[in-house]
Amino acid sequence: MHGAIEVAELATHFHVTSETIRRDLSELQEKQLLKRVHGGAVRWESFEPLLAKRADANDDAKRHIAKRAIEEIPERGSILIDAGSTLLRFAEAIPPGRSLHVVTNAIPTAQAIAEAETATVNILGGQLRQETMSVVDSHAVEQVHQLHVDVLFISTDGASEKGLTTPYTHEATLKKAMIASAARVVALIDASKFGQDHLVRFAGWDDIDVLITGAEADATMLDEIRSQGVFVAAV
């Protein structure tokens, strides 16, 4: 596959239906051999850059989102921070002087909070996923099931009017557990994620209390999300 391929092209080449091709592409995505996109697929490595590269993408917008998300932190209590480049920017922006207990599955996030001495931080244990430097396996899920936190700060690979999605079943399981553990859920999603639907949906908008995104996000979609009872801040 030379970078990208279309479903229609594959169906013609192999003399099968588009539905067969889509099913095969989904199976290959589960094996992390490619990434499904609208109308086709791309190389896995072009989809899943390392965290350092992802942090650089849309960095100004992510910092704006992170700054606004600070308003959602309680003065004291517990927060759970999901993995992701936007959430790393959020962790870096947490101000000192609050009596917070932070739990995260992301090593860069834990390190940023620990180095700034802004809060007490616990990191979930389990097998490390090197691409994101985060823990997402069943051991992490078991630990999250034992938690009850005041606020969860979460992100996503894709967002649409249907909810939040990811290509990874193991990440979806952990994110569902995180949402169940939280009294309040705040989603930090940069505008580039909207309009994308991935293999596994881990949340509907009725699971989200607050959405913080960029001002460039599609206004029609944001209105649809607001109509589902979500407070939306586009910054």
Asked which of 47, 62, 82 is the last residue of a domain, the reply is: 47
Looking at the structure, do residues 162 and 134 belong to the same domain, yes or no? yes
Say if pTM beats, i.e. exceeds, 0.75: yes
H/E segment holding residue 64: helix 59-69
- Percent of the chain whose pLDDT exceeds 90: 64
| Average pLDDT in the chain | 88
Number of independent structural domains in the chain: 2
> Mean of the pLDDT values across residues 74-81?
95
DSSP conformation letters of 22-42: HHHHHHHHHTTSEEEETTEEE
Looking at the structure, do residues 140 and 165 belong to the same domain, yes or no? yes
pLDDT in tens, 109-154: 999 999 888 889 999 999 888 778 899 999 999 999 999 999 999 9
Looking at the structure, do residues 65 and 37 belong to the same domain, yes or no? no
Looking at the structure, do residues 62 and 30 belong to the same domain, yes or no? no
Decide if pLDDT at 232 tops 90: yes
Note down the domain range covering 37: 4-47
Q: Between the CA of residue 55 and those of 51, 61, 62, 138, 196, what are the distances in Å?
A: 6, 11, 8, 26, 19
Looking at the structure, do residues 42 and 115 belong to the same domain, yes or no? no
> Which residue has tokens 């190389």?
43
| Two structure tokens written together for 118 | 């802004």
In this structure, what CATH number is given to the domain that contains residue 118?
3.40.50.1360
Looking at the structure, do residues 65 and 176 belong to the same domain, yes or no? yes
DSSP conformation letters of 165-226: EES-HHHHHHHHHHHHHBSSEEEE--GGGBT---SEEEE-GGG-SEEEE-TTS-HHHHHHHH
Looking at the structure, do residues 41 and 77 belong to the same domain, yes or no? no
